[in-house]
Chain A
């Protein structure tokens, strides 16, 4: 069986699956139960400033019969007494010395406050810290959480305060609620952080009740923005992860990253790791299904590694990073067309209507007489010479592997946008662009 253990800037964990700092990691009982069921680590629910929570903390995105494809919350950091949290951290660490326990902390923007909580918490024997610079509601209004994570200078400053006293590794948790996440990531690096984690939750309003006009979640008649998480945010998390992981400064620093945001299955976890995450954290999926999902995560990842011939996680962490690129560097000469497999097609005509109404009108409905049915329905057929290869039809087709995008070569020059505008700056005028397209064999009707 492949070795799933990881070393995250010195924090050792039997596998890359960690509970995120959130309700599932709220107490010693929960963290220890999770370890028993196979979780490799836990980032304890954030402790720090005194808070009061409200009722009806959650709103969900339920979609076509599936519950909780996205989860919104207005929960604050831990409302349990700090002493109790510290006592339970120590106990959990004693009982599970080989599992990773990371303490998430957040206090007001004062050097003494941060240094004091670091020193106090270290006495429990935990393996490291996560600085919560991401909570987007309640705490941010008080100048904490994302209010710190959104200003790179603050991120760096607080990180430096913590690094002055911490003897254990320190992970900075980033907020997605920024224009360019690379800036706070670099700030954390400059502040001396040992690792990064992302993403915290995304600002969101979940919905409005059509009868009562109340917002969701509805706290006694009022609602507001809350943090969005769960499967729906995965693409955003993957983007932010890849942006940070592929940033040359971060890459060269070899700062490990703990990825999260919509991880629910082993497949999701593998994707995060291929894009550079060393560990993955999970909150919403555990809130929906319980700790038990980890068994399949471990087994599924092991089976996949075995199939691919990977012996350790390091064999594949970051393997897709070299492919992270930008539009300007894509090959304009790469050409594909849609091809429909009529053995699989069930004649729903969704591809036809999508192409006709929302793409380039290059699918025809034709009589093919390929079955023995007397009154055969018309079949969708792609006019390949007109197909721009946009890929919409294959995305709407309900049958797996029925429409494939086939690579073709009509002799278009293999050149990127950046190369093109450098060598032929004149194409930035429409007339010249059209002339270029003629020569490059690109015809758009």
Chain B
């Protein structure tokens, strides 16, 4: 029977381990794509497009799928967003483009993300390249950190004729797209294909070099006309409770990374897993643990459902995956036996007066201690700010804002040759891939304006070609 007409198998226990780590949504068949594309109204000044942080011309790329010009569709996407294939998969479309689709009210929004994936995958599978390095302009730029922000900036600069070197401390570039987004939302190959595309634009990527350790910012400044700092954030912070050093306590990001870089059947996981936190990383960790085979996965969060930082669709996904939630619960101690985790002691919380963030502050309920048994505990309570690198940058006059690098609207820092973008500047707003990509574009346009005198709109227009 035709593959795309088969009912989806949704019972996890009927799937193999490999199948459970395939992309959650299967790719659109050509027919799916054309039917969905034809449903789009092709709005003028479309709200979906306004909602896209990188301003992709969504109605145009969708129409091109409908007319059979899939190649042109991919070009329209990548002109605005070089990481279009990643964004198609990881963007929180429900709160961005699809959330603003005019069909929300009467029908259901267009599946913009999946159409974007259809077009970008088509171009990638066919090996189509749309852009060339610009005429060399004699200027050199160093990019520190090869995540979405760094790759986007490097790619846009290469199109404008800059000589760009990206320094990346890890073995592979791609940042969290390569190491941090669970494979059933984005396979590693998709991220690495984007890295390859940037390299083919003439950008040099030097892996395994950590700035601040293997090379200094002084050295980079001496050799380059500008620097783009896109180092992202760090690991998960300490919870600062007893027992964190026990065997079986994991950093959530390391856990996700393992599933992206190791063979799935070699990954250790517990039978009863507790995940502390309720943001995107926590949801990812919990759902991975379930898909690896954990019997019971409980997310522990000190506030209530209404305050959880994860998006609602992520919460629904986790519930569907069989994850249970303990709200208004705070871990106070990790308990161990023979050096290994065997439970987490928690207290119940209540919501008090609103705190600085405007959310009601959780307060302890006296004498409410209880123990949740578990043999694995995953910490997923956010990411630490890149204090190390920031302290190396302060001698150059770089300022901070809430612990993040401070930039102006053009992603310029207080030092004329240093620009920054991505998660490391996200003192407000959601940290997301698409915002990082846009930061890279903004910084590239600023550098072009400053170093070669291309007016900003022109720089943006040229880099569109």
Report A's interface with B, CB cutoff 8 A: 66, 265-267, 289-290, 292-293, 295-296, 299-300, 303, 343-347, 371, 399-400, 402
Question: Residues of B contacting A290 with CB < 8 Å?
Answer: 44
Contact A343 B72 (CB under 8 A): no
Cα distance, A66 to B66, chains bound together (Å): 13
Contact B2 A266 (CB under 8 A): no
- Our count of residue pairs bridging A and B at CB distance below 8 angstroms stands at 48
Contact A266 B44 (CB under 8 A): no
Contact A299 B72 (CB under 8 A): yes
When C-beta atoms are compared, the residue in chain B nearest to A346 turns out to be: B5
CB within 8 A of B69: which of A292, A299, A346, A371? A299
A-B contact pairs, 24 of them (CB 8 A): A66-B38, A265-B67, A265-B68, A289-B42, A296-B60, A296-B63, A296-B64, A296-B67, A299-B69, A299-B72, A299-B75, A300-B67, A300-B68, A300-B69, A303-B69, A343-B1, A345-B1, A345-B2, A346-B1, A346-B5, A399-B2, A400-B30, A400-B31, A402-B2
Contact A303 B71 (CB under 8 A): yes
Cα distance, A371 to B71, chains bound together (Å): 37
Contact A343 B44 (CB under 8 A): no
Contact B68 A267 (CB under 8 A): yes
Cα distance, A399 to B5, chains bound together (Å): 10
Question: Residues of A contacting B64 with CB < 8 Å?
Answer: 296, 299-300
When C-beta atoms are compared, the residue in chain B nearest to A288 turns out to be: B42
Per-position binary interface string of chain B over residues 72-99, scored 1 when its CB falls under 8 Å from any chain A CB and 0 otherwise: 1001000000000000000000000000
Cα distance, A345 to B6, chains bound together (Å): 11
Question: Residues of A contacting B5 with CB < 8 Å?
Answer: 346, 399
Which residues of B in the span 54-69 have a Cβ within 8 Å of any Cβ on A? 60, 63-64, 67-69
Cα distance, A296 to B69, chains bound together (Å): 7
Per-position binary interface string of chain B over residues 35-49, scored 1 when its CB falls under 8 Å from any chain A CB and 0 otherwise: 000100010100000
Contact B72 A346 (CB under 8 A): no
Q: What is the CB-to-nearest-CB distance from A433 to chain B, in angstroms, rounded to a whole number?
A: 42
Given A299-B72, A300-B69, A346-B2, output 14 extra A-B contacts at Cβ < 8 Å: A66-B38, A265-B67, A266-B67, A290-B44, A299-B69, A300-B72, A303-B71, A303-B72, A343-B2, A344-B1, A345-B2, A371-B1, A399-B31, A400-B30
Question: Residues of B contacting A296 with CB < 8 Å?
Answer: 60, 63-64, 67, 69, 72
Cα distance, A266 to B71, chains bound together (Å): 13
Contact A344 B2 (CB under 8 A): yes
Cα distance, A14 to B256, chains bound together (Å): 54
Per-position binary interface string of chain B over residues 1-13, scored 1 when its CB falls under 8 Å from any chain A CB and 0 otherwise: 1100100000000
When C-beta atoms are compared, the residue in chain A nearest to B73 turns out to be: A296
Question: Residues of B contacting A300 with CB < 8 Å?
Answer: 64, 67-69, 72
Contact B60 A266 (CB under 8 A): no
Cα distance, A303 to B38, chains bound together (Å): 21
Which residues of B in the span 278-324 have a Cβ within 8 Å of any Cβ on A? none
Cα distance, A356 to B231, chains bound together (Å): 68
